[in-house]
Amino acid sequence: MTLMRTTGAPWRLPRALGPAVVGAGLALFVGAPAAFAAGPTPAKGDVAWMAISTILVLAMSIPGLALFYGGLVRTKNMLSVLTQVFAIVCLAAMIWVCYGYSLAFTDGGSLNSFVGGFSKAFLAGITPESTAGTFSNGVVIPELIYMAFQMTFACITPALIVGAFAERVRFSALLVFVGLWLTFIYFPMAHMVWYWAGPDAVAAAARDLAAATTETAKAAAQARLDAVNADAGMLFKWGALDFAGGTVVHINAGIAGFVGCLMIGKRIGYGRELMAPHSLTMTMIGASLLWLGWFGFNAGSNLEATGGAALAFVNTFVATAAAALAWMFVEWAFKGKASLLGLVSGAVAGLVAITPAAGFAGPMGSIILGLVAGAICFFFCTTVKNAFGYDDTADVFGVHCIGGIVGAIATGVLVAPALGGVGLVDYATNPGTASPAAYVMATQVWAQIKAVLFTIVFSGVGSAILFKIVDLVIGLRVSVEEEREGLDIADHGERAYNY
C-alpha cells in the first residue's frame, strides 16, 4: 500500500464506493517508498503549503492555546497552564514519532477497522523519498511532511483537555494521562475516521474491474475492489465526513475534558469565590493566534495548494467571524453588555464548528453554521453550565464538544450541492477521475450522527477509565494547600509574574 490520508476533500470523497470520512488531513494510506518509484513526484507548491500549514497548526498550541487558557485562570496558576500545554506538545510529539503515526495511519490487520499496526513504528521505512497520497489521483506529498502535519493534530488535541480542569490537576498525573489517552483514545479515533486506501488504490482496482472480460476475471477484480474499499477505518466505512477533526479532535477532547472535570471535582471555592480570568488581554492574543493557526489546520487538511484549500480557507474566515458576532449579540441581548470574553469565545466556537465542514460546505453555508454554533455554544457555556453547576474552567465542553457536535452533524447537510456544498465523490466509476457521487441528505446526516454518538461513548467511557486508573496510581488532584497556594509555586516552583 502507499501512504494516503483523507483530510478534507469533499470533491474527492469515495462515497459511492462505500463511505468516506475525511478529516484534517488525516485519513491516511501509508505505503512503501517503492510504491511511487516510477510514479508522481511532489509538487513544490504543495510541499511548501503543507510545511507552512504544519507551522501554523503548531502555533495554535504554543503559544496560541497556552495563552488563551492561561489568561482564563487566576494569576497564581498562569505559569502552570503554560507549562502543561508546552509539555503536552513535547510529549505528544515524541509518542507520535515512536508509534502514534503508525497506529493511526497504517494497516492494522485484523483490527484495521479500529486501529493501525506497528509497521511504521519509530518511522521505520520512511525516507525523504517516501510519499503520501492526497485526494487527487496521481498527486503526492512527502510522507515526512504529512507525518509532521498530522503530528501537530496529535499535539493540540490532548492539550485542549487541560482547560476543563485547570487550576487543580496534578502535573505528573496529567502527563501520564495524556500518554495513555493518546495511545488508547486519540490514535484509534484518528485511524477510524481518517484511514483509507486512497484514490489511486481505488482507481487501480476499478480499472482492473473495467478491463476484466470473463466472469472469473470480473469476480476476482470485484473482490480486489471490495478489499480496497474495506481497507479503511470503521467510521470512514460508515460514510461519516470529517474534513479536519470535528470528531477526532474537538468532540474527542471536549468529552474527555468534561469527564475529567466531573471526576476531579470543582475548584475550592467555586461558586462562592470570585474566579475571574486574570488577563483577558492574554486570552484575546491567544484566541487571535488560534484563528491564525486554524487556517493551516483546516486549509492544510486539503493536502494540496488547490481550490479546495482556498475554499477551506475562506470558510474558516467567515464562519469564525459569524460565530463571534452571534455570541456577542446574543450575550448583549441577554446580559446587557457585549464582552471581549464572549467575542473571542464565539470565535473559537466558530472555528470548532467549521472544522469538520471546512472543505465540504460553501461560504454562505459556513456563515449560517457559524451563527448557529455561536448561539448554541453561548447557551451551553452559560445556561446549561450554571444549571448543572459543573466546573469546566475554560468551557472545553461547551465550546469544543458542543461546537464539534453542531459542526459534525451540520456537515451532512451543508455538503449538499443544492446548498452550496461541494457534494460527494466517486473514484471508481471513471477510474483516475473524481466524479460526482449520489448524495442523500438523510443518509449522510445519519452517518454523521452515528459518528458523533460513537465518539462521545468511546472517548467518554475510555477517558473515564483512564482517569480512574491514573487517580488510583498517582492521584489526579493536588492537595488543598497546594491548590490554595497556586500550581505555579506548588508544581513548578516559579511564578508567571514577579512584581
How far is residue 71's CA from residue 74's CA, in Å, rounded to a whole number?
8
pLDDT, one tens digit per residue, over 218-231 is 999 999 999 999 99
pLDDT bin (cut points 50, 70, 90) of residue 38 is low
Q: What percentage of the chain reaches a pLDDT higher than 90?
A: 90
pLDDT, one tens digit per residue, over 171-184 is 999 999 999 999 99
**Residue-level pLDDT at 392:** 98
CB 3 within 8 A of CB 131: yes
| Stated pTM of the model | 0.93
Which residues lie below 8 Å from residue 154, measured CB to CB, with a gap of 6+?
A: 92, 93, 95, 96, 100, 104, 182, 186, 187, 190
Q: What is the mean pLDDT of the chain?
A: 92
- Residue 489, burial from CB neighbour count under 10 angstroms (0-12, 13-18, 19+): middle
**Residue-level pLDDT at 432:** 84
**pLDDT for 445 beyond 90:** yes
**pLDDT for 147 beyond 90:** yes
**Residue-level pLDDT at 495:** 96
Which residues lie below 8 Å from residue 266, measured CB to CB, with a gap of 6+?
A: 389, 390, 391
**pLDDT for 84 beyond 90:** yes
pLDDT, one tens digit per residue, over 453-499 is 999 999 999 999 999 999 999 999 999 999 999 999 999 999 999 98
Is the backbone of residue 138 left (phi > 0), alpha (psi -120 to 50) or beta? Answer: left
Report the pLDDT averaged over residues 154-177. Answer: 98
Q: What percentage of the chain reaches a pLDDT higher than 70?
A: 92
Domains of the chain: 3-231+243-492 (1.10.3430.10)
DSSP state of 493: S
**pLDDT for 435 beyond 90:** no
**Residue-level pLDDT at 19:** 36
- Residue 271, burial from CB neighbour count under 10 angstroms (0-12, 13-18, 19+): exposed
pLDDT, one tens digit per residue, over 407-430 is 999 999 999 999 999 999 999 888
DSSP states of 29-57: E---GGGGTTS----HHHHHHHHHHHHHH
pLDDT bin (cut points 50, 70, 90) of residue 324 is very high
**pLDDT for 235 beyond 90:** yes
Which residues lie below 8 Å from residue 35, measured CB to CB, with a gap of 6+?
A: 1, 2, 131
**Residue-level pLDDT at 429:** 87
Q: What grid cell was written down for 58?
A: 503548531
pLDDT, one tens digit per residue, over 116-130 is 999 999 999 999 999
